[in-house]
Structure 1
Amino acid sequence: MQRTGASAVALGGGHGLHASLTALRHVADELTAVVTVADDGGSSGRLRRELQVLPPGDLRMALSALCGDDDWGQTWMRVLQHRFSGDGELHGHALGNLLIVGLWDLLGDAVAGLDMVGRLLEARGRVLPMSTVPIDITAQVEAPDGPQTAHGQVEVATAQGRITSVALTPSDPPACPEALGAVKDADWVVLGPGSWYTSVIPHLLLPELRRAIVDRGDRLVLVLNLVAQAGETGGFSPADHLAALREVAPELRAHTVLADTSAVLTARADLEDAVEALGARLVVADVASHPGSSAHDPVRLAEALRVVLAGEDGAGGDRVGESVPPR
């Protein structure tokens, strides 16, 4: 696939960021991932609590997405993602998490440790944490039996009810300086897809990082999810996802909102109004792995992002169906 010559920084976490990085590494000449550090479940949560470190899981996922397609890259991708079974203390731990945390302990520097893992993998980009300290997410939820407060990423992600607001603890954590520099210097900034309240919105709740993202509005691409996520955004329309971003960052503006074709089949006018409120253009593309899927097809997403990054304004064949500029 043809590269654009552009540099890009992608923000998010988990499977959503993995999808955008898998696509972007084929079209961006320089690529940096900025990753949420709020995970408190599974292997990451155990290591975070036991060793007082950043949760490594989403960082590991980002590194695995940047592994090459050759035998070296694919072997190391499998090594990173390998999880131990059995009944002992290692049960459930991902080998990549242990490797990352071991390097942090050895080097005493989170960024240096991640860079070292990247060198080992021959990663096609750099992975950085959004903050230099672990973060907790708290959400206010309108539940069937009344208002509730969800504490931590796992509780927020599985909340039963509509999330009305989210906050970080600490409220003003230190941003990773290298992450701020990446956002300021990249040709393009890509936010989403991913778990909206636990992977995407946290970047806009960290004050320094939000200012950096807002300042890049003329080069900001928002990639919408394919479907609403049960627990976090159940019942949300594409327009609701954009409204949630503006609730936490009213000053947010964007260059492009990228949506799957299925997103405009219903309530198209609402989506176009939400895009216009951001001062953005709407680009519609077939980026799902198959109709009704919640997973992006990496090749289709790469082509859609290539069109945006190359400034081709929607041209690119059947995969990019149209580009709707702001009215």
Structure 2
Amino acid sequence: MRAVALGGGHGLHATLTALRRITACVTAVVTVADDGGSSGRLRRELGLLPPGDLRQALAALAAAEDGGSLWAEVFQHRFGGNGALTGHAVGNLLLAGLFEVLGDPVAALDEARKLIGVSGRVLPMSPEPLEIEAEVSGLTDDGAVRTIRGQVAVATTPGRVRRIELRTPQRPGGAPRACAEAVDAVLGAEAVFLGPGSWFTSVLPHLLVPELHDALVRSEATKVVILNLIPQPGETAGFSPERHLDVLFQHAPDLRVDVVIADRGSVAAPARLSDAAAGLGARTLFADVADPKVAGSHDPDALAGCVREALELIGRRKS
């Protein structure tokens, strides 16, 4: 099965960890708007794509139950101390070097996956670093809507995020460009996955890149949305599961989805969620996919089983 997963950070890591239990033909399409931590430092100093979420996706596809390769472990190693390297992950530095030497982020990521033994592929959603801009209410007593910029600022805002847009700092006023290989992967996929993850900063940005949005709408693949287990403090504090789907529809009203996967224990009103999913053309699949040992994390084996069930369900409906 040719599967494509779109997202970033820990949420995409969860989806990829589940998908590699099902198929070796997995492509990750990763957000490139991070401006914090090691990624933000490298982005500001070198003007390159932020490598952190790309590194995490590579690591998820390289991971194995027997511990994986030494290179995969080194790739994730983060320097300590209090010098210039403090906080940098080895993989971030390696990707930054490959970006500069090869001058092509796709070629650089393909070389990195060979090094650490990844059978799938990792692609940026855009070949240029992007900036998230959000409309946020609740920051002042007068109820006014304010504009804030930057992934970290949006993810940690104490206000209520209403809507986001993408900016191109290297081409002010320009529309975000899609990675051509990512568009091809979506159009050639048999199954496409959105979520889980930071809704406004990792999931929705893919829908705001025009060519990628059009590919997602046109794709004949089975489309699956995997919901978060808990709202994210700041970014989606107070959001119900169905509110996540409402926001998705607001940002991409033409997108139709086949299945919404939700953890049974994380949904207070299953009927309301099913109604919201139906608005996207989807059926809701409730399952126990939370990791009982790690709060707020998906169990990869349970999620893989649920994905198989979702694909079988849609396969029977389409046949």
Give the whole-Å Cα distance in 2 for the aligned partners of 1:272 and 1:291: 28
Give the whole-Å Cα distance in 2 for the aligned partners of 1:17 and 1:273: 26
Aligned positions of 1:50-65 closer than 5 A = 50-65=45-60
Match of 1:227 in 2: 230
Give the whole-Å Cα distance in 2 for the aligned partners of 1:294 and 1:72: 23
Give the whole-Å Cα distance in 2 for the aligned partners of 1:312 and 1:200: 24
> Is residue 112 of structure 1 aligned with residue 107 of structure 2?
yes
Contact 1:260–1:284 (CA<8 Å) still a contact in 2? yes
Q: Which moved more, 1:177-186 or 1:299-308?
A: 299-308
Q: Which moved more, 1:209-218 or 1:177-186?
A: 209-218
Match of 1:189 in 2: 192
Give the whole-Å Cα distance in 2 for the aligned partners of 1:14 and 1:283: 24
Match of 2:92 in 1: 97
SS of 1:73's partner is coil
Q: Residue type matched to 2:292 in 1? A: H
Q: Residue type matched to 2:287 in 1? A: A
> Is residue 176 of structure 1 aligned with residue 179 of structure 2?
yes
Q: How many residues align?
A: 309
Match of 2:261 in 1: 258
Match of 2:309 in 1: 307
Give the whole-Å Cα distance in 1 for the aligned partners of 2:243 and 2:150: 23
Inter-CA distance 199–217: structure 2 relative to 1 (3 Å threshold): farther
Offset of residue 75 of structure 1: 2.5
Match of 1:162 in 2: 160
1:208 to 211, 219, 223: 211
Contact 2:225–2:261 (CA<8 Å) still a contact in 1? yes
CA deviation string 1:222-269 (max 9, x = no partner)? 0000111111100000100000001111111101101110233x2222
Give the whole-Å Cα distance in 2 for the aligned partners of 1:14 and 1:68: 15
Contact 1:220–1:254 (CA<8 Å) still a contact in 2? yes
Contact 1:217–1:255 (CA<8 Å) still a contact in 2? no
Long gaps (5+) in structure 1: 1-5, 316-324
Q: Residue type matched to 2:147 in 1? A: T
Percent identity over the alignment is 55
SS of 1:10's partner is strand
SS of 2:83's partner is coil
Give the whole-Å Cα distance in 2 for the aligned partners of 1:217 and 1:261: 28
Contact 2:79–2:90 (CA<8 Å) still a contact in 1? yes
Match of 1:236 in 2: 239
Q: Residue type matched to 2:126 in 1? A: S
Aligned positions of 1:4-19 closer than 5 A = 6-19=1-14
Offset of residue 270 of structure 1: 1.5
2:299 to 297, 304, 315: 297
Q: Residue type matched to 2:176 in 1? A: P
Give the whole-Å Cα distance in 1 for the aligned partners of 2:216 and 2:40: 28
Query: Structure 2 length as normaliser, TM-score?
Result: 0.92
Give the whole-Å Cα distance in 1 for the aligned partners of 2:221 and 2:122: 23
Inter-CA distance 314–272: structure 2 relative to 1 (3 Å threshold): farther
Contact 1:13–1:194 (CA<8 Å) still a contact in 2? yes
CA deviation string 1:37-78 (max 9, x = no partner)? 000001000101111100000000000001142767343332
1:285 to 281, 284, 287: 287
Contact 2:277–2:284 (CA<8 Å) still a contact in 1? yes
Give the whole-Å Cα distance in 2 for the aligned partners of 1:218 and 1:10: 12
Give the whole-Å Cα distance in 2 for the aligned partners of 1:292 and 1:244: 27
Q: Residue type matched to 1:154 in 2? A: V
Match of 1:322 in 2: none
Offset of residue 85 of structure 1: 1.1
RMSD: 1.9
Match of 2:20 in 1: 25
Long gaps (5+) in structure 2: 169-173
Q: Residue type matched to 1:25 in 2? A: R
CA deviation string 1:257-300 (max 9, x = no partner)? 01110233x22221111111011111111100028931001111
